[in-house]
Structure 1
């Protein structure tokens, strides 16, 4: 039973208010998370404080070299939502509000959230759908809510039109990229689409169904998802992301394809210690693999999370950022903070 059930019981006079509140607190994901190692939250807040200090006045964050502003803004804003802040409440409300304004301004007439001279604009578009749809569900200002609905509706339409003939997505739309597609951008789009659907934005079922079939066709005999439908070898990072994508698309946890991919990841992904460097895109991998492990329940999560959290905290810089990787500290810090805070349960897209 959910916390809302007991709150409704109290409101109807069927349960004393004090008893209902005690049960709600006991059931709260955040209350449960706070029973864990307090250093996890301290580390995450330190990271978020660093992100807040790095936000530009116009509301955006950026990667190394001033790149990927749309994607970095959505990832950083999403990490702050995981802490519990919204556009109007919480420690990072101003930062989130500025990020929303920036992304709304970046919405183009054709529905793309981003700019055409970004040669990886589908990443930013997908992450923006994810972030803005989570905000849309909590937005209290009627005018801003209408604007979010308009932007997200057009973003979903653009996403469908950008899908390739094979059912995937590339770094740019099918039209701009000569129908090229690959696995990681496909995952980003599907998760963004599911987040939109969860928030009440209409999403054509056939678009998601074609994407799931694309992932199926990309799966190699060893259970790993290849770089693209054309081949490229099984990739642990894309496979982990694909499982999250399947769960988000509505596929059950016991779906045969998801289980096949999961077995591959369990053999291929080593999360801690020196072995964690044996594959590339470590942060990207665990950004999605953490979502998968959390969705699988406490038995899996309570084994996975303490180790991955320890590894993440071990690499944190004194100023709160994480600096590994070539994309830049905004990227790694936003992803690590999301992992550390995911079990707060504030965002519907990450809930069990």
Structure 2
């Protein structure tokens, strides 16, 4: 999946000091779930919440139905000419989208689909401690460490909302191995590459994806080494170009709006809003939006849309996100298929639908990682 299924940055309200498990913090500091339909907790919105709910509901219904086609808890991926199938990454995103829509493992309209999705992800984890890939969640041949990052993120959210159930214990055990793999494969520059092993090369989208997974795991109560996070954040800052945009990798001339939004969201999660790199990144995004840039113009519209949503959502001011989301909602609804899905010829409709459902669910803040 490499650049196309690049790092989906899901940022939580995470304090500094990553070595302190969230379970040891006062309950008032831990993220809490709230009902997605509880509008009393939100100020008035400039966009029609009923339209958001209707479009999101149709997308989630399609995802739930699509999961039943294969019978193993995974979601279908395309197999034709030019298609790029990555079931681990796509199934992780689809499971995460269902949880973002208010479904818990075994609870909610699509709760059984969430449980099956988590079981599928768990089945892809390498459990043999003697295996050099111990802890790796993947094996689909395409998404590799991107898929591992998405899987770790999804497992962390499942554990955060169901820590005491039998499933929660299994999620915790898999998370320990998944986090350990990320920590021991970090390169000297602070980044990661595509394969689940220590490599001399590195790449920005993989790095951001794995940083997001570590943060989600830490906020769910897992022990994460603070120096790993610090080195990765240093890598992200070092990848910024003079324009304020962020590069595909250190030393590369290639910059993209999607990677810039992903990097901005990563830096926002540190709470350092006066960070010069963050300020310059936000300025670069603002200039792009003012020039009329929006998802659909680039090569990978779905993940770019999500990156922008996260970056704007993470700002201290609400107005930039609300203005952008109001316009983007019209494009999302117009491009939704009659059956509730969205289309993507390379990575499949499950991928596109999961990404766009996550965008629509973001303002509800149902998941801990969505809370500002």
Shorter chain as normaliser: what TM range? 0.7 to 0.9
- Measured in 2, the distance between the counterparts of 1:188 and 1:140 equals 23
Aligned mate of 2:78, from 53, 59, 64: 64
Q: Which residue of 2 aligns with 1:301?
A: 321
Aligned mate of 2:66, from 51, 54, 68: 54
Q: Which residue of 2 aligns with 1:12?
A: none
Greater relative contact order (Cα < 8 A, sep 6+) = 2
For the 8 Å contact 1:270–1:276, the answer to whether it is kept is no
- Measured in 1, the distance between the counterparts of 2:349 and 2:290 equals 22
The TM-score with structure 2 as length reference comes to 0.81
Secondary structure of 2:248's partner? strand
Secondary structure of 1:231's partner? coil
- Superimposed CA distance per residue, residues 162-211 of structure 1 (whole angstroms, 9 cap, x where no aligned partner): 22221111222343xx4221111111111111111111111111111111
The TM-score with structure 1 as length reference comes to 0.85
Q: Which residue of 2 aligns with 1:105?
A: 123
- Measured in 2, the distance between the counterparts of 1:219 and 1:172 equals 24
- Superimposed CA distance per residue, residues 127-186 of structure 1 (whole angstroms, 9 cap, x where no aligned partner): 1111111111121653322211111111111001122221111222343xx422111111
Match status 1:152 vs 2:166: no
1:25/1:276 Cα in 2 relative to 1: closer, same or farther (>3 Å)?
Answer: closer
- Measured in 2, the distance between the counterparts of 1:318 and 1:156 equals 40
Aligned mate of 1:95, from 108, 113, 119: 113
- Superimposed CA distance per residue, residues 292-343 of structure 1 (whole angstroms, 9 cap, x where no aligned partner): 2122242222211111111111111111111145222111111101101111
- Measured in 2, the distance between the counterparts of 1:322 and 1:338 equals 12
For the 8 Å contact 1:323–1:329, the answer to whether it is kept is yes
Q: Which residue of 2 aligns with 1:19?
A: none
Q: Which residue of 1 aligns with 2:138?
A: 114
Match status 1:28 vs 2:52: no
For the 8 Å contact 2:156–2:216, the answer to whether it is kept is yes
Q: Rg: which structure is higher?
A: 1
Structure 1 residue 268: Cα displacement: 2.4
For the 8 Å contact 1:295–1:351, the answer to whether it is kept is no
1:270/1:72 Cα in 2 relative to 1: closer, same or farther (>3 Å)?
Answer: farther
Match status 1:182 vs 2:203: yes
Mapping of residues 165-314 of structure 1, within 5 Å: 165-175=188-198, 178-248=199-269, 250-269=270-289, 276-296=295-315, 297-314=317-334
Query: How many pairs align?
Result: 324
- Measured in 1, the distance between the counterparts of 2:64 and 2:196 equals 32
1:293/1:67 Cα in 2 relative to 1: closer, same or farther (>3 Å)?
Answer: same
User: Which segment drifts farther, 106-115 or 263-272?
Assistant: 263-272
Structure 1 residue 272: Cα displacement: 7.3
Structure 1 unaligned regions, length at least 5: 1-7, 9-23
For the 8 Å contact 2:86–2:347, the answer to whether it is kept is no
Secondary structure of 1:346's partner? coil
- Measured in 2, the distance between the counterparts of 1:160 and 1:90 equals 35
- Measured in 1, the distance between the counterparts of 2:149 and 2:228 equals 14
Match status 1:336 vs 2:367: no
1:348/1:243 Cα in 2 relative to 1: closer, same or farther (>3 Å)?
Answer: same
- Measured in 2, the distance between the counterparts of 1:262 and 1:75 equals 26
- Superimposed CA distance per residue, residues 82-113 of structure 1 (whole angstroms, 9 cap, x where no aligned partner): 11110022111011000011111111130011
- Superimposed CA distance per residue, residues 218-257 of structure 1 (whole angstroms, 9 cap, x where no aligned partner): 1111111111113132111111111112223x24233221
- Measured in 1, the distance between the counterparts of 2:209 and 2:123 equals 21
CA RMSD of aligned residues (A): 2.4
1:128/1:261 Cα in 2 relative to 1: closer, same or farther (>3 Å)?
Answer: same
